[in-house]
Amino acid sequence: MFAEGYIGIAGLIGVGKSTLTMELAKALNFEPVLEEVGGNPYLEKFYGDMKTYGTIMQVWLLNHRFRQHREFVSRISMGKIRGVVQDRTIWEDTIFARMLNQHSDKIISDMDYNTYLDLFDNMVLRELVFPQLLIFLDCRVQTCIDRIRSRGRNMERAIEPDYLKSLQENYYQFIEEMEAAGVRILKLNWETFQPMSEVVRLVHEYSLKPSNFTKWVRPLRKMGMENKANLPDKVREAAK
């Protein structure tokens, strides 16, 4: 299921999502939905101590974005607004959780990651809808680092290039998963900002392309060794 008039902007930290969200929403006469960076009570603490605050921050973000998602989908369906352009969709929250779970320090443990995915699944199966179009902004990690430094947010000073490289790899995997689910994806090289007239043209072009939406595919859970021992060989290999 997807919502007409729902456009998502995806990409790395610092790539330029917020700027495009505002400008594209204005051009389409849609409502912008921005990340409330200042309202996140865990963000600064997370960058200072990822191990302690990784799980709770992901749960907070999921809850916050879930509330946002329900509100604007309801307003679109009731005709109160034409549509929205959202800076980072709720679907992207799983990227960060997965990356933190895959980290060598296990910033999010397997048990916490499984619980997070269960929570996400419960929301997805009941409430969430895909965007009409997902715009993926891509550029070099160093370009993102330069843009992060230029905007001067103190809490982002601790972001390391390796963190963004890992995030970028997970984003590429995420985009493949969304394409496999039938979501329309518009990939833009955002090494330099493109003219808004060209972005609007591409949005209209891609929004008319056919989509074959499928159900959400439940990600594999992390399993303890004691549970793996009871699985068939093929399933055990897939669970690694």
Tell me the one-letter amino acid at 59: V
Task: Give me the catalytic one of 87, 93, 112, 138.
Answer: 87
Token code pair at residue 232? 């068939």
Q: How far apart (Å, rounded) are the C-alpha atoms in residues 53 and 35? A: 19
Closest CA to 161 of 152, 172, 151, 148: 148
96, burial (CB in 10 Å: exposed 0-12, middle 13-18, buried 19+) = buried
For 133, the enclosing helix (H) or strand (E) is strand 130-138
Q: How far apart (Å, rounded) are the C-alpha atoms in residues 73 and 230? A: 43
Q: How far apart (Å, rounded) are the C-alpha atoms in residues 136 and 217? A: 20
**124-127, long-range: CB < 8 A, 24+ apart:** 124/216, 125/216, 127/66, 127/69, 127/70
CB 86 within 8 A of CB 21: yes
Active-site annotation holds for 87: yes
* Residues recorded for the chain: 240
Which residues participate in catalysis according to the annotation? 87
